Chain A
Amino acid sequence: MISYQISIFAENKPGRLAAVTRVLAKEKINIRATTISTSDTFGVINLIVDDPARAGEALTNAGMTVSLSRVLAVVIPDQPGGLDRLTQLLLAENVNINNAYGFVLEGHRKAVFVVSVDQIEKAEALLEKNGFQTLDSEALSAIEPFHYMKY
């Protein structure tokens, strides 16, 4: 299964992330995970949200420079070595990881790891063959991250 990540080009100046979250809050879009990678004066904000298409549209309408890209959202057991098995597998097949980040599903004793790779179809087939579960955007929006589970 392939999922979608939203990336936003942002200059390194105060208020850029706040501007993004303001738009999404107004649209009642849930953010599942986020990472920010920065260069000297600019960076890219990556988001996993429950409705990527609508989020992309809202951010674009707010004048932001947005890109929707395909990623793998991989479910791995939340235990030592869980992530290692995934990365070793990709390394062995020469799949290059551009970016990776994750969030824990506490109640499930599992984690979801988002990986952006250079050969997504190959990686997807490889993971499924090796018993990893990958989530599409719909499945991602159906699961509840831990901080929602507590209430």
Chain B
Amino acid sequence: MYWEKEIETIDSIDLSKLQMARLGKTLKRAGKSPHYAKCFAEMDLDADGIRTPADMERLPLTTKEDLRENWPYGFLACSRDELIRMHSSSGTTGRATVIFHTAGDIAAWTNLLARCMYMVGMRRSDVFQNMMTYGLFTGGLGFHYGAEKIGALVIPAGAGNSKRQIQLIRDFETTAIHIIPSYALHLSSVFAEIGVDPRRDTRLRMAFLGAEPHSEKMRRKIEDLFGFKAFNSYGLSEMNGPGMAFECPEQNGMHIWEDNYIVEIIDPVTLKPVPDGEEGELVTTTLLREGMPILRYRTKDLTRIIPGPCPCGRTHRRIERIKGRTDDMMILKGVNIFPIQIEKKLMEIPGVGTNFVIILDREGYNDSLTVKVEVQRAFFGGDLKQLETLRRRIVEELKSDILITPRVDLVEPDSLPKSEGKAKRVIDNRKN
């Protein structure tokens, strides 16, 4: 059941020793990059003085802006000849960030993905269909290499083209898929459209849900629709991409691989570490990166460490599913709201369909929140009163959670823009 038993079940003292040894090497390598060389000189940092986890606070934090300002080679700690691949984050604003990998980096990353998939039961007998975009995005090639390392048969389907995806699943008896959660919902509606029941007519037995934060309800809904087990995957391209943290069969939090990363949770305002169990921003340091070591990277993702041991026997700590991103956060009338909170509530309400959109508007000095919600086709009973009751219930449930009374519009099933990639959940019309 373990890909690497010794390392996955390492005790905390040995883990700490291993981390500090690897951190020492990482700091030496990082010091060769123009960015960190400058940083260390400015701070007058003695890398040899960093010996315990408590010393981490003395190291500089790194932000996405730092990566942008040093584009493209400012973080590079080796010669360009040693690089074998680059990836780039989906830059939604400004210039995309670029990450370079040496052969060693790719090998370590591939191993982590194999570890993740093996953990939830993927074996060489499995057929793995990767429905992520290949190319600069890390979700395609990352999983592809990891699954090949296990020895599974890999179908590099890429994203979109739902009918072809279903055809591939049926023709080649796919057992495992890697998919974006909002696309999984869309795919299930295409299954229904062509009259194929994924539970009965396919051999699908597991899915890895990645690239998009989602709620527990959403996971359960996807599991019900397809009749398989779905496991949450977490990663960001600056830290390799997927493979960073993954759910084990317990499905209660994602083990973050502490032999590869030092994990801290900090208060995003004071930047001070918070104790295990408390929510904050995830900050991680690479421990095996050769090409582009990154220290204390501010992920902007909000989560917490789940305290206590996991029944699966792995000792690497677990992070809770991502609650939101500090930069996804909507501030409305002084209240902080995350799209995932709204999704979570909506998924609990019977009659709500697969898609929704949040629209923020400003009239004068007044901000308003509108949620357009698709109605589930089977829910409609021909009665206006029933729809009105549903609408009012959505308003009440959201209000109890986000403390603002939203305007809720019910819309026809499949009328909101369909997502073959990441769902665009928020439209902010308040800018100017």
Contacts and interface: CB of A to CB of B under 8 A. Distances in A.
Interface of A: 5-7, 9-11, 37-44, 46, 63-69, 98
A72 B381 CA distance: 17
A44 B377 contact: no
Majority secondary structure of chain A interface residues (helix, strand, loop or mixed): strand
24 contacts: A7-B380, A7-B381, A7-B382, A9-B375, A9-B412, A11-B412, A11-B415, A37-B384, A39-B384, A39-B388, A41-B409, A42-B411, A43-B384, A44-B382, A46-B382, A63-B414, A65-B412, A66-B380, A67-B381, A67-B382, A67-B383, A69-B381, A69-B382, A98-B383
B164 interface: no
A10 B384 CA distance: 10
B24 interface: no
A44 B412 contact: no
Interface string B357-400: 00000000000000000010100111111011001000000000
A135 to B, nearest CB: 19
Contacts of B381: 7, 67, 69
B413 interface: yes
B410 interface: yes
Contacts of B380: 7, 9, 65-67
Contacts of A9: 375, 380, 387, 412
A68 B409 contact: no
A57 to B, nearest CB: 14
B165 to A, nearest CB: 21
Contacts of A41: 409-410
Given A9-B380, A46-B382, 14 more contacts: A11-B410, A11-B411, A41-B409, A42-B410, A42-B411, A44-B384, A63-B414, A65-B377, A65-B413, A66-B380, A67-B382, A69-B381, A69-B383, A98-B383
Contact of B412 (A10, A46, A68, A69): A10
